[in-house]
Amino acid sequence: MLKYDIITKNGLARTGVIHTPHGDIHTPAFVGAATRAAVKALTMQQMRDLGSQAILANTYHLVLTPGAELIRNAGGLAEFSSWRGPTFTDSGGFQIFSLPDVKITEQGARFKSHINGDKLEMTPESSMQAQWSIGADIHMAFDHLAKSDNYDDMKEAMERTHRWLERCVAEHQKLLGKMVGGRNMLSEGPKTWPSGPERPEQDCSDHPKTEQYLYAVVQGGSFNDLRAESARFAASQPVDGFGIGGVFTADGMAEMLHIVNNILPENKPRHLLGMGQEPIDLFVGAENGCDTFDCVGPTRMARNGSLYTLDGRINIKNAKYKNDFTPLMPDCDCELCRNYTRAYLHHLFRTDEITAKILASIHNEHFVVQTVDRIRDSIDNGNYDSYKQDFLQRYYG
């Protein structure tokens, strides 16, 4: 079982530590989206420097390329990417269901690769196997998202998610059983490294990195009775934690999370899947009992020139920043704000320099990581409410 310690509790909100084989995650925490084992525009060293504690990669993307086998042969996601810290993988469910021409059967999902059109299938079992090969510390169950938000579709998708969860759990335990002495024996034969000089055979005898954990995913869309039912089912399963999926807007999220997280067992961590583009999502999530977040928004918006400041988001490409020789955010200690002006970043974006996206991504990722870090500190220090009020009042005006 994944070790999770609660440090402070305040209603549903809590702080804690998730102990993974690759290190601890102090929660609540923002997890960087590294879909293809890379955070777009950023190096892993930059991610460490900006304060990220963990990354989340995607099984769908990594299965397509370079393949789960290759990552296992490289020593696993954390080693392959040189992140070397705690890692999550998403199951691929979300991505597959957002592709066109997906065929869902009870068995799994049939779809075409967006890269070369190959006809592929992913099942609860194959997702689990791939995630074990990829070797993240924490895996997500393979779930089904309804395409529409009508009740019957949502209920059907939720029920399928539950049936698939039982299969995920069974497969996960089967794969867990193949571990011998904390070492993943799935990998047979000599390790083949993708490139570079020959590396020595790893001594895994006291290396617990191959312990891997499973989160169930709660579905139910915008229907709180389904959410409650899904949470009860997920809670009944022998899993290490929970992902809360299928959330697309902050509307109704507080109430939904309140219901779900009052049902989910307190002693296991909860991950709010895909939310965190708007700072308010992080506050609503944390105060309603979510421990980790991931979101592509901060880095995507950074690449598109939309930058967080404590006074709200700005588009640095706007003409008004052409002659603005002040830091983006004076009270920010990220690499961008410490060294460069708005005018310079504006210029980098206007001239389409790669550096623009790098610096902007450093800032935005740092901003959300730090915002959650401060939420954590404020919960520990008992001043969450005032921190939240000050932040939101200033940010959203």
Binding mask 247-276 for RNA (x = CB under 7 A): xxxx----------------------xxxx
Spatial distance between the Cα atoms of 310 and 271, rounded to a whole number of angstroms: 25
Contact between 319 and RNA by CB under 7 A: the answer reads yes
90 is catalytic: yes
Tell me the angle at which helices 279-287 and 384-396 cross, rounded to the nearest 10 degrees: 160
Binding mask 103-122 for RNA (x = CB under 7 A): -----------x--------
Contact between 160 and RNA by CB under 7 A: the answer reads no
Minimum CB–partner distance for residue 98 and RNA (Å)? 5
Report H helices in 118-275. 124-134, 151-177, 224-236, 253-263
311 is catalytic: no
Active-site pick, 24, 294, 331, 333: 294
Spatial distance between the Cα atoms of 285 and 267, rounded to a whole number of angstroms: 17
- Token couple for 18: 């998730």
Spatial distance between the Cα atoms of 165 and 25, rounded to a whole number of angstroms: 25
Contact between 35 and RNA by CB under 7 A: the answer reads yes
Contact between 367 and RNA by CB under 7 A: the answer reads no
Binding mask 286-315 for RNA (x = CB under 7 A): --------xxxx-xxx-xxxx--------x
By beta-carbon proximity to RNA, the closer residue of 179 and 280 is 280
- Token couple for 264: 């989910």
Which amino acid, residue 95? Q
Minimum CB–partner distance for residue 316 and RNA (Å)? 10
Active-site pick, 5, 24, 90, 206: 90
Spatial distance between the Cα atoms of 290 and 268, rounded to a whole number of angstroms: 10
Q: b/e per residue, 64-96, with b = 16+ CB within 10 A? A: bebebebbbbbbbbbbbbebebbbbbbbbbbbb
Residues carrying an active site annotation: 90, 294
The footprint of RNA (CB under 7 A) covers 33, 35, 39-41, 56, 58, 61, 90-91, 93-95, 98-100, 114, 140, 143, 145, 217, 219, 243, 245-250, 273-278, 281, 294-297, 299-301, 303-306, 315, 317-320, 322, 350, 352, 354, 357
